[in-house]
């Protein structure tokens, strides 16, 4: 990279609104009573907030075609920009705390702002500025006041992506940084478009070749319900459930109430199964974040959120209870002739996901 070029990490990628355009086009087709845009063979992916749809889609892409060099470079740009934005948010949080008596913060803040301004200057910046910025960020994070802000921030404690990036600053801010598979899975990017389509074309598994489109629909503002009738020819549905949120609630606009997250997922799954036009032949329910679920059970008993549960306060038993609840919902709507399969996994674990995806492929082909 020459000094006259903008560093990759300082460029902000343009927003991709192709999904929004397509959604508007389909609205027009619905008004005319016809639909001309539809994948020939596809699997529909559903899941509520925090269920891990984005990570699942990345795992599918890694397992299928993978990310080529230009795609990784673009993701590297996003990761580096996200890291700098996170630092700025931390600095904003420090403004609510009393002045640092040691004057370390003003000096570190000044150094950070100078480094970011220097690296953003298209006429003077170079790749040599990135190690300078990495050193400056680490010096800033070493200031006691900044440490205090980070330790007191519930958002930081709950954001595993930010924690991951903070632990890899020298590597992420290095010149010509290219994200690894783990970086792609662990780092948080901008919210995905409402509709995401990805080619599900994994390596052939003996007599089980597969070449289909995975269509993911985000659940917000009624968008997912609008698309349900358009997915009537899906070969199968994949529904993601975040087990680790068993003790949390989310707002339900239909009933204007706070609902337990797993119960909300049950309601969403029920609404999909009850759509008369959905003719899918197989349902796959993936209970995600099983590792976090097992860890949290040691602190928050499952019965606190599901008092009707009478089993042991152990991850496998509690997960089996959730599985049975979903299976009952699946059978209620007269779909006993269809197949349902369930898996407990961790979408961040590449080894587990390879096994899960392979089993899904075999199941879909059968």
334 phi and psi angles, rounded to 5 deg: 65, 35
Say if residues 46 and 237 touch (Cβ distance below 8 Å).
yes
Say if residues 286 and 342 touch (Cβ distance below 8 Å).
yes
Measured over the CA atoms of residue 40, residue 227, residue 215 and residue 47, the dihedral's sign is negative
Q: DSSP secondary-structure letter at 208?
A: B
351 is in an annotated binding site: no
32 is in an annotated binding site: no
80 phi and psi angles, rounded to 5 deg: -65, -40
Q: DSSP secondary-structure letter at 294?
A: H
221 is in an annotated binding site: no
Matching residue, tokens 């009478």? 310
Matching residue, tokens 């980070």? 150
Q: 267: Cβ–Cβ under 8 A, 6 or more apart, which residues?
A: 252, 259
Q: DSSP secondary-structure letter at 336?
A: T
SS3 238: strand
Measured over the CA atoms of residue 248, residue 253, residue 254 and residue 257, the dihedral's sign is positive
| CA gap 19, 25 in Å, rounded | 10
Give the DSSP letter string of 46-89.
EE-TTS-HHHHHHHHHHHTT---HHHHHHHHHHHHHHHHHHHHH
Q: Mark residue 72 as left, alpha or beta (left: phi above 0; alpha: psi -120 to 50; beta: remaining).
A: alpha
| CA gap 235, 96 in Å, rounded | 53
333 is in an annotated binding site: no
SS3 342: strand
135 is in an annotated binding site: no
Residues for the chain: how many in total?
Answer: 366
Say if residues 207 and 361 touch (Cβ distance below 8 Å).
no
Known binding site for Mg(2+): residues? 54
Known binding site for GTP: residues? 288-291
Known binding site: residues? 54, 288-291
């Amino acid at each position: 990279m020459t000094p006259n070029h903008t560093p990759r990490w300082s460029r902000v990628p343009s927003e991709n609104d192709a999904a929004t355009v397509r959604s508007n086009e389909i609205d027009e087709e619905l008004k005319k009573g016809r639909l001309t845009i539809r994948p020939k063979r596809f699997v529909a992916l559903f899941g509520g907030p925090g269920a891990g749809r984005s990570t699942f889609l990345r795992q599918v892409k890694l397992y299928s075609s993978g990310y080529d060099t230009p795609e990784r470079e673009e993701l590297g740009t996003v990761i580096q920009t996200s890291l700098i934005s996170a630092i700025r948010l931390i600095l904003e949080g420090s403004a609510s705390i009393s002045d640092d008596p040691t004057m370390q913060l003003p000096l570190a803040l000044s150094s950070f702002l100078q480094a970011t301004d220097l690296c953003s200057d298209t006429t003077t910046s170079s790749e040599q500025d990135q190690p300078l910025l990495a050193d400056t960020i680490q010096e800033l994070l070493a200031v006691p006041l900044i440490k205090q802000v980070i330790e007191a921030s519930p958002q930081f404690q709950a954001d595993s992506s930010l924690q991951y990036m903070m632990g890899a600053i020298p590597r992420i801010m290095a010149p010509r940084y290219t994200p690894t598979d783990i970086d792609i899975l662990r780092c948080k990017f901008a919210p995905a478009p409402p509709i995401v389509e990805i080619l599900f074309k994994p390596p052939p598994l003996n007599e089980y070749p597969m070449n289909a489109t995975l269509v993911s629909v985000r659940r917000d503002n009624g968008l997912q319900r609008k698309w349900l009738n358009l997915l009537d020819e899906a070969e199968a549905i994949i529904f993601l459930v975040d087990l680790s949120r068993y003790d949390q609630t989310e707002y339900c606009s239909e009933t204007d109430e706070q609902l337990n997250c797993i119960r909300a997922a049950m309601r969403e799954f029920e609404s999909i199964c009850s759509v008369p036009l959905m003719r899918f032949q197989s349902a796959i329910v993936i209970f995600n974040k099983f590792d976090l679920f097992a860890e949290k059970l040691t602190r928050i008993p499952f019965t606190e959120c599901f008092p009707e549960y009478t089993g042991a306060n152990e991850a496998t038993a509690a997960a089996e209870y959730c599985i049975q609840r979903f299976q009952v919902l699946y059978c209620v709507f007269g779909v006993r002739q269809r197949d349902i399969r369930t898996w407990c996994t961790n979408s961040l674990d590449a080894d587990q996901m390879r096994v899960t995806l392979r089993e899904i492929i075999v199941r879909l082909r059968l």
